[in-house]
Amino acid sequence: MTEPLDTVDIAIVGAGPVGMALALALAGSPFRVLLIDSRQRGTWTSDPRALALSYGTRQLLESLGAWNVDAGTSIETIHVSQRGGFGRTLIDAADYDIPALGYVLRYRDLAASLDARIEAAQRLNGHEVVAIRLSSEAAEIMLTGGGGDTHRILARLVVHAEGTPANDAGVRVYDYGQHAVVTEVRPLAAHARQAWERFTPDGPLALLPLGPDYAVVFCVSSAQANELLQLDEEHFLAALRTSFGGRVDFVGCGPRASFPLALRIRQQLSTPRQVWIGNAAQSLHPVSGQGFNLGLRDAWELAEILRTRACSDAGEEATLAAYTRRRRIDRSGSMAFTDGLVRVFSNDLAPLRAARGLSLLALDLLPPLRHFVARRMIWGARAWP
């Protein structure tokens, strides 16, 4: 059965953390906003990821009233090094006059705190977008629900926040040939709120303080990831020790899961009546934990432009053009930073290893250079002088 046409100003497709953040940032605006997700509410409770959120992200989440102070563990220092080569650098929150460089939070806790703030009238769950028909005035969105019923919504603007896109002509894909194996491990000694980023020829390995444990993001070739998932706990911890080196030891680990890693870049951030944010706009390698931080800034800036322009047509072309312009530097800077790190560090060539060691040493010995990198990670493009 086809239900009658519903009309809204803005339809956000995808109620992941980025879509939800946009809905919250638009609360109280003159726009009627509807947040649509193909999954039921709370499906995120099974997501195994932990995310490193920058201090700048904490500030934005606080403004949205969605900062979950109890669920996060602060990062006070970050130790960066490479396996099999010299050089290391230490980034310390004390140098930036902020209480922490960032926070580690489980995806599910982040989603739950955003979700708790969204009003029931604003959401439509269990409905998948099957087609969008565009006219000069509006977009007509066709949805199907679980019972096979169809639903139609007329929106002035469709915001795509459906997460990582499939291969399509509008998306450029670079497959890293890596998977991230994620789990939580118990360290032998307390972590003192220090995070570790260790570059290895197989891929980067991050240990992020989370409660008494470390959340692990262990990036390796796709074949190695399969093997790591099959190992029993003892052998998995042995593999982790081999990759990480002797600075930290582990006594136990939780369940493991893996994610394929590719860089996916949507070529055009907006087209008439449509705009893309978060992973739907760009999906990055998880090295240095940029993806959600960048996606939140997408949502924040889109809401800010929509509110400032406050015109009756949310999908006005000038608004979308302004959004695309405003996101250019932050977006390209974050993509180049993460992609560059993966490419430069994921190999074992001796001259490159030496050059990397010198770069890590330079970062450690030259505070202005280190501060530039740290500020870029904390605040994104807002950190440019």
Ligand X SMILES: Cc1cc2nc3c(=O)[nH]c(=O)nc-3n(C[C@H](O)[C@H](O)[C@H](O)COP(=O)(O)OP(=O)(O)OC[C@H]3O[C@@H](n4cnc5c(N)ncnc54)[C@H](O)[C@@H]3O)c2cc1C
* Residues making contact with ligand X (CB under 6 A): 13-19, 36-39, 49, 51-52, 128-129, 161-164, 180, 182, 217, 259, 278-280, 286, 289-293, 295
Give whichever of 55 and 292 is closer to ligand X, judged by the CB atom. 292
Which residues partner with 270 through β-bridges?
A: 275
Under a CB-based contact definition with an 8 Å cutoff, are residues 177 and 167 in contact? no
In the complex, what is the shortest distance from the CB of residue 350 to ligand X, in angstroms, rounded to a whole number?
Answer: 30
In the complex, what is the shortest distance from the CB of residue 309 to ligand X, in angstroms, rounded to a whole number?
Answer: 23
Q: Which two tokens stand for residue 262?
A: 């590719």
In the complex, what is the shortest distance from the CB of residue 285 to ligand X, in angstroms, rounded to a whole number?
Answer: 9
Under a CB-based contact definition with an 8 Å cutoff, are residues 83 and 199 in contact? yes
**How far from the centroid of its chain's Cα atoms is residue 244's Cα?**
24
* H or E stretch at 317: helix 317-345
Give whichever of 85 and 162 is closer to ligand X, judged by the CB atom. 162
Give whichever of 40 and 267 is closer to ligand X, judged by the CB atom. 40
Residue number of the CB atom closest to ligand X: 16
Are β-strands 50-54 and 139-145 bridged in parallel, bridged antiparallel, or unpaired? unpaired
Under a CB-based contact definition with an 8 Å cutoff, are residues 23 and 183 in contact? no
Compute CA distances 338 → 50, 148, 276, 294, whole Å: 18, 41, 20, 12
Which residue has 């590719």 as its token pair? 262
Give whichever of 112 and 361 is closer to ligand X, judged by the CB atom. 112
In the complex, what is the shortest distance from the CB of residue 280 to ligand X, in angstroms, rounded to a whole number?
Answer: 6
Q: At what angle do helices 291-309 and 317-345 cross, to 10 degrees?
A: 170
In the complex, what is the shortest distance from the CB of residue 294 to ligand X, in angstroms, rounded to a whole number?
Answer: 7
Q: Nearest-CA neighbor of 240 among 186, 189, 175, 191?
A: 186
- What is the C-alpha to C-alpha distance for residues 76 and 193, in angstroms, rounded to an integer? 6
* H or E stretch at 371: helix 367-379
In the complex, what is the shortest distance from the CB of residue 219 to ligand X, in angstroms, rounded to a whole number?
Answer: 8
Give whichever of 18 and 320 is closer to ligand X, judged by the CB atom. 18
Under a CB-based contact definition with an 8 Å cutoff, are residues 110 and 51 in contact? yes
**How far from the centroid of its chain's Cα atoms is residue 335's Cα?**
12
- What is the C-alpha to C-alpha distance for residues 295 and 133, in angstroms, rounded to an integer? 26
In the complex, what is the shortest distance from the CB of residue 196 to ligand X, in angstroms, rounded to a whole number?
Answer: 13
Give whichever of 123 and 353 is closer to ligand X, judged by the CB atom. 123
Give whichever of 151 and 370 is closer to ligand X, judged by the CB atom. 151
Give whichever of 13 and 85 is closer to ligand X, judged by the CB atom. 13
Q: Nearest-CA neighbor of 344 among 207, 179, 200, 175?
A: 200
In the complex, what is the shortest distance from the CB of residue 312 to ligand X, in angstroms, rounded to a whole number?
Answer: 26
